[in-house]
Every structure is written in C-alpha cells, then in structure tokens.
Amino acid sequence: MDTQLSAGAVRDRFPILGDYLDWAQDRLALRAVPGGLLVGDLLIVDGSPGDPVQLPAGRWAGFGHHTRVTGPGSAEVPYPRRHLGHGWRFAAWPPAVAFQREGTVVWATGPEPDALEIHLATGRAVHRTLPDGTSVSVVDRRMRVTGPERDVVVVADGFPVRRVRGADVTVDLSQAVAAAAAVAQGRPPADHEGLRAALENDETTGVRHRYEIEPNPPRPGEPCVVRVRGAIDGGAVVAEDGPPVRLRGAGADLWEAELPGRPEGTVVRYRVELDGGGRVTDAAPDFAHVTPDTPFLRPARAGFSYEVREPTVPGWAIDAVIYHVIVDRFAGPVRPLEQVGFLGFAGGTIAGLTQRLDHLAGLGADVVWVSPLTPGHMHVPYDAVELFGVDPRLGSVDDVRTLCHEAHARGMRLILDAEFSYLGIDHPALTEHPEWFLWNDDGRPVGWFGNPTFAALDHADPGLRSHLLEATRWWLELGFDGYRLDSAHAASLDFWTDFGRAVRETRADAFTVAEDARTLEHCLRYRGRLDSYLDFHTCYGLRGFAGDGTVSASGLDATLRTRDRLPAGICGTTFFENHDMDRFSYLAGYDPRRVRLAHALLLTLPGPPVLYHGTEVGVSQPGPGDIAIAARAPMLWGDDQDGALLDDVSRMIELRRSRVALRRGAYRTLTADDAAGVLGFARETDTERVEVFANASGEVRRVAHAGADLELAPLSVTVLTDGADPVSWG
C-alpha cells in the first residue's frame, strides 16, 4: 500500500467508508494503482473526470454510474452522473469512488441510524456477512438481506432498485441487470424509466393512487375513473362537491371509482378514504418523510385535484424555437468568470439582453427563456428573497417592461424561469410565515440536496398558495408569455392544478414547461395542468448519440418513438444541453461536426427545441469543473463568435420554419443501424414529408434511398425535402 495514503488517511478523507474500511483492510489489501487506490472492492480515484486510471485484472462496474470495464487496462475517470442523489439514498458517497469489482457488495450507513445502503455489482453469486451480522446473498438475480430490522436501500450496477424496511428482505434485481447490460452495449436501458417507476411503485409502498385517473383530465360532462392500487378491504373516493363513490374491485389489488362528469372549468378536489380508517396519500409511505438531504420529496398529502377541461398546447409554442438566456452571462458589462467566483454575478443585465434581441431574431429564435429575475444571492436567483421584484444587479421592473415591449414588437415571446418549489433561506417569510415551509426535526428548514441556500415549501398551506399564485399573475401582467418551472416535481400536482388555472385566467395563450427529469409516466401527469415538460430522456439520447457515442441509433430511436405517441394537450420540450450540465461541445471533444450534428437533429425532431445561449457561436468550456462556472460561460460577441457555425444554425432554424412537417409532423423510423451509427427518420403530415439521415460515425456511410445509394459524410445530418436538393451539415 502507498505509505503516503495510509488507512488513517483514507478514513480522514472519506469518513463515509467507516466500517467498510475496517472490514476491507483486515481482509483485502489496500494498495495504490496508477491514478487511484484500491480499498477492498472499491477503486478510489485521485484524478479529474477524463483522467486515466489503471484497473487491475477483472471486471469492474461503475459506482454511481452505469459503466462496465474489463481489466487489466486503462479506463477514464468517470464524471459522476449522480443518478443516486435524488433523495432516497442514505449515504453521501464521495464522487472519488469510481469503480466496484464485479460480484461484490459495498455498504454504508448514513445519517439515519437504523438504515443501510447496499451497492451491488452483479455478475457472480455473492455471500457476505457484514460487521454487524447482517447477511447479504445474491443468487440468480435475487438478493436477500437478513439482519436487524431497518430501512434498506439497494442499488445494483448504478441503478436504484428498491427501498424497503424489514429484517428479512428479498429483492429482484432483474431490471437493473438488464439495464446495465444495455448500457454496456452502448444502448440506453430499455426500462430506465421503469426502474424509477418500479422503485416508487414497489409493492412495499402500500396503497397508492398517484393521480391515476382516466381520462386525464376529463372533458366537460365526461365521467372520470379514479384508480387505487394495493391490498385493501374497500373504500370510497370523496369529492368535495359530491357524495362518496365506493371503490369496486377491478383486478388484482386494483380498485376503481367513477366520479360523475362536471362542467368545463370545474376543479374537482377529492380524497380516497379506506374502510377501517385511513386515507390514501400522494406519496408512498417510504417517501412520506423528509430529511435535510431529500430533495424533490414532500410529506405525503391526502388531497388530490383535477380541472375539467380539454387541454391544448398554444400553437405558437408548438412552432417555437426557444433560446435559453442566463441574463447575468449574456449581455452587458460582463466580467470574466475568474473574477466572479462561485455563483457570483458577472454583470449581464436585462437592458443588455434587450439590446441584443436582434441577434436572437436574426438567428431565427422567436421565444426567449429568461433566467430568474427575482432578488436573490445567486446569479440565477432561484433563491428568491422576494417574488414581486427584480434583483437590482440585473435591472429594474421598468427594464422588464421594456424587454417585453421590445420582444413583442419583434414578434417574439418571453417565458420566465421561475422557482415556486423553494424560496431563498433569507426570505422574510421564514420568520413571518413559518407555516409556509417544510421543517426538519432539528428546527432547520428542508433544503435542496441538503443545500441551506433553499427552503422547501409546503404547498398545502393556503396562505402560501395564495401568495405564489399572486406572484404568478404579477409576472404575466408585466408582459411574460409563460413559465419554465424549476424543480416542478418538488411541488404537488394539486398545486399545479391551481397554478395552471391561474396562468390561463391571466393569459389564455400562455405556455408552461415543467422541469422534471423523472419518467415519462410522471411527466404526463402534468397534462391538463401544464403544457409541457423538459424532455431529459431525449436530451440524454442526443448527447449520447451525437456527442460521445454512448447511445446507439436504435436506443435514441426507441426514445423518440415513445414521444411520438404522446396524447394531445402536452408536449416534450427538447434540448441537448442546459445550464446544469456540461456544455455539449466539451462532451463531444470540441468536434464542430458533432456540434452541428446535435443542432441538426434537435431542429428536425418533434417538440419545441431549446438552444442554450452561446452554443450557436462557439461558447464552450475549457474542461470539467463546477457547472456554475464551466457550463455558464459568458456569451461571445463580435469577432469572438464562430460565424460559420452561427450561419449553419440559422439555416437549420430557417429550414424548420419553412416546413410544417418538421414542427408538427409525426415521427417515423426509416433506419436505425447500430453497426453503422446511422439513424434515419421521416417527419410527415398529410401533405408534406421530410426525411432526415444522421451519421454519428466517423466513416462515410451509404443508405438506400429512392432506388439509389445516399452517401452520408462522417458526423453529418442530411435532410431531404420534396422538390428540393438535399441539405447537409457536419
């Protein structure tokens, strides 16, 4: 073992290793390898993401990410994807833990004293006894854990599988094994969304409703079937404006009640009461508590609601090309980021954005997504200390009015990035209205990933809800045309029912987009409340297919085909990068062909596309680092811009605008050749058809088209339209 990194030093640096380190150093050698340190079955790395690390012989699984590597040989230090950081884990594993030997179990306890978190790398049978006597065995894709009664979280091959309480627990690992195998083959896991759904809908979570209604929402006069799942003796659905309706058995642990139709615009509020006492809540029992490190989770509530209406997405939004601006980093006296510091203000202003609207109009963008403007401590003030005002470092209310006027005069619209799930820790309501917030047992407000900058809101409080809806109307009356809603999944759907109604009453054609990275099933629940959701799964597919080659053509195609079958009244808003992830160009190795490939795909796919500020002129990041700095570099202007890239992106947008099929047409697969790295698809309406062929490989490819071979240049997109010559970018 490296004498410069003793067991004591490891413990000091990574205290979370705790008992595991004691166990490992007694049984397995601690030894240094180039770029890292072996601690039992774990490989801890010293380098930055992308740096080489030497893996010993054997098969290795990523820890906290979905990677499979065979040693001996060199591997890259992974960038932590943090799929496990969404609130239900116990232990704060350091990002430096990178790989885990196949067929091993790693464990940790966390802030909750009677909790155990187990990470398994599948591939071999496992039989292990932990220091406290807990037995862990894995045979034929089933894990059994026996020991003291406590909460147990199981993670297999980087995928969350189950959280359950018990002294003798059996867990089926089949979904995680299948998902890991797909990733190892360069495909997105077919049931990646299903894995999270399985976690949240596991049989251990008891009776659940989860807003499962049909239709969702009902049209005027149309009955609505409310479904409840779980082992119960009976119960009733009780609406505020009507008598109880008994639940009737409709299958194994499936119960239904039909509520009568109501007039258009009626908000139906209801609860589910069980025979023998008790009510069904909007969260499973395992997720009904909140701790300082549980972001996006709320205490369980027993109230549900929907509005009777025929939902429609505003036509202007369906046809839109959206441009995402961080006001502080876009235009004005912007300072270099090295002078700014973590989350500091660089100097961009609302007035500066107004002066640069012609750049956006010339590009072809007709909707501007404006970063938060409320007073706060961050350059993107999600930590609002006041909802009715503008941070003076960004400008004034009059500056907002001028921005809205000038944008509308150019035929452009504006959507505001707003935070209605949290307030800043310095908001006066924490002392004036403590009932508006969620509090931990130790008297601290619930934060966001344990971050004390934010205070989570209790949307069930009527005073808070009234305040938030008043602020919602205020910004729309200033001139904004809609909202991008940050951390939407941290608020209840019952709140979004009232929010959507307030928005439409204030501005009938406003557009609302939820930030929600959960499953498609979850996102579709916004239908009837909000108009759209940010499509993170398509984003990951685009980044993997066009950026770093980790997603196959068939994998991306599978995601896109599911999006083509969305019900009317909701759409996915598409993107391939944003302010919370590495710049695409960095991911793509700064290859300008890949940047054009991603843009061309984004602008020919369904859903309103979002361009992140500066990518169209060559803004990138120098390497890995804090997202607040690395991914939020200032806009480039003048001679610093990549004029050729700007011209190409402008032509792509012009093509999208000229073809209805690219904006509103159905998606049809033409080819998805994983070996060749080629994806071909058509966008078509009853009167128009556009064909798109994307070659994500580094070789010339040929595809059969119209009785001849169509040649595709490496890392390029070719678009064929009726009566026009092919257009290619790459």
Q: Which helix (H) or strand (E) holds 322?
A: strand 322-325
- Residue 274 CA to residue 228 CA, distance in Å, equals 10
Q: What is the pLDDT of residue 124?
A: 79
Asked if residue 82 has pLDDT above 60, the reply is no
Asked if residue 87 has pLDDT above 70, the reply is no
Q: What is the pLDDT of residue 691?
A: 97
Write down the H helix ranges in 450-576.
462-478, 493-506, 520-524, 536-542, 553-563
- Residue 306 CA to residue 584 CA, distance in Å, equals 38
pLDDT (average), residues 138-167: 80
Q: Which two tokens stand for residue 499?
A: 């929010």
pLDDT 10s digits, 351-393: 999 999 999 999 999 999 999 999 999 999 999 999 999 999 9
Partnered with residue 417 across adjacent β-strands are 484
pLDDT (average), residues 132-138: 86
Residue 677 — left, alpha, or beta (φ > 0 → left; ψ -120 to 50 → alpha)?
left
pLDDT 10s digits, 702-723: 999 887 889 999 999 999 998 7
pLDDT 10s digits, 9-33: 666 666 656 556 666 655 555 667 7
- Residue 677 CA to residue 525 CA, distance in Å, equals 34
Q: What is the pLDDT of residue 204?
A: 33
* Selected residue with higher pLDDT from 141 and 669: 669
- Residue 477 CA to residue 667 CA, distance in Å, equals 37
Residue 479 — left, alpha, or beta (φ > 0 → left; ψ -120 to 50 → alpha)?
left
Q: Which two tokens stand for residue 532?
A: 């759209």
* Selected residue with higher pLDDT from 506 and 444: 506
Question: Count of alpha carbons within 13 Å of 295, Cβ hemisphere only?
Answer: 17
Q: What is the pLDDT of residue 49?
A: 56
Q: Would you say 595 and 621 are in contact if contact means Cβ atoms under 8 Å apart? A: no
**In 91-141, at which residue ranges do the beta strands (DSSP E only) sit?**
97-101, 104-108, 115-121, 126-129, 135-139
Q: What is the pLDDT of residue 646?
A: 98
Q: Which two tokens stand for residue 58?
A: 């054997």
pLDDT 10s digits, 418-440: 999 999 999 999 999 999 998 87
* φ, ψ (nearest 5 deg) of residue 460: -75, -15
Q: What is the pLDDT of residue 612?
A: 97
Q: How confident is the model at residue 47 (pLDDT cuts 50, 70, 90)?
A: low
pLDDT (average), residues 514-523: 86
Q: How confident is the model at residue 95 (pLDDT cuts 50, 70, 90)?
A: low
**Which residue segments constitute the domains of the chain, with CATH numbers given?**
7-202 (no CATH), 213-283 (2.60.40), 315-427+456-664 (3.20.20.80), 670-729 (2.60.40.1180)
Q: Would you say 684 and 661 are in contact if contact means Cβ atoms under 8 Å apart? A: yes
Q: What is the pLDDT of residue 436?
A: 96
Q: What is the pLDDT of residue 621?
A: 87
- Residue 604 CA to residue 658 CA, distance in Å, equals 12
* Selected residue with higher pLDDT from 4 and 637: 637
Contacts of 355 (CB under 8 A, 6+ apart): 331
Q: Which of 116-130, 150-164, 652-666, 688-702 has the lowest mean pLDDT?
A: 150-164
- Residue 161 CA to residue 322 CA, distance in Å, equals 36
The whole-model pTM stands at 0.75
Q: What is the pLDDT of residue 20?
A: 61
The residue with tokens 């020991």 is 147
* Selected residue with higher pLDDT from 400 and 40: 400
The Cα-based distances of 30 to 18, 27, 34, 568, 720 in angstroms read 15, 9, 13, 58, 59
Q: What is the pLDDT of residue 659?
A: 96
Q: What is the pLDDT of residue 511?
A: 98
User: What percent of the chain shows pLDDT beyond 90?
Assistant: 54
pLDDT (average), residues 196-202: 39
Highest mean pLDDT among 90-99, 623-632, 689-698: 689-698
Q: Which two tokens stand for residue 523?
A: 């996102």
* Selected residue with higher pLDDT from 25 and 697: 697
Asked if residue 99 has pLDDT above 90, the reply is no
Highest mean pLDDT among 138-152, 167-181, 193-207, 258-272: 258-272
Asked if residue 122 has pLDDT above 90, the reply is no
* Selected residue with higher pLDDT from 509 and 442: 509
Q: Would you say 583 and 621 are in contact if contact means Cβ atoms under 8 Å apart? A: yes
Written as one string, the DSSP assignment of 567-580 is: PTT-EEEB-S--TT
User: Which of 98-137 are b and which e, b meaning 16 or more Cβ less than 10 Å from the residue's Cβ?
Assistant: bbbbbbbbbbbbbeeeebbbbbbbbbeebebebeeebebb
User: What percent of the chain shows pLDDT beyond 70?
Assistant: 82
* Selected residue with higher pLDDT from 10 and 531: 531
Q: Which of 3-7, 69-73, 402-406, 425-429 has the lowest mean pLDDT?
A: 3-7
Asked if residue 249 has pLDDT above 60, the reply is yes
pLDDT (average), residues 604-614: 97
Asked if residue 294 has pLDDT above 70, the reply is no
Looking at every residue in the chain, the average pLDDT score rounds to 84
SS3 state of residue 43: strand
Partnered with residue 249 across adjacent β-strands are 255
HEC per residue, 373-419: CCCCCCCCCCCCCCCCCCCCCCCCHHHHHHHHHHHHHCCCEEEEEEC
Asked if residue 53 has pLDDT above 80, the reply is no
Q: What is the pLDDT of residue 110?
A: 54
Q: What is the pLDDT of residue 106?
A: 77
Q: Which of 335-339, 476-480, 485-489, 520-524 has the lowest mean pLDDT?
A: 335-339
- Residue 175 CA to residue 173 CA, distance in Å, equals 6
pLDDT (average), residues 344-356: 95
Q: What is the pLDDT of residue 41?
A: 72
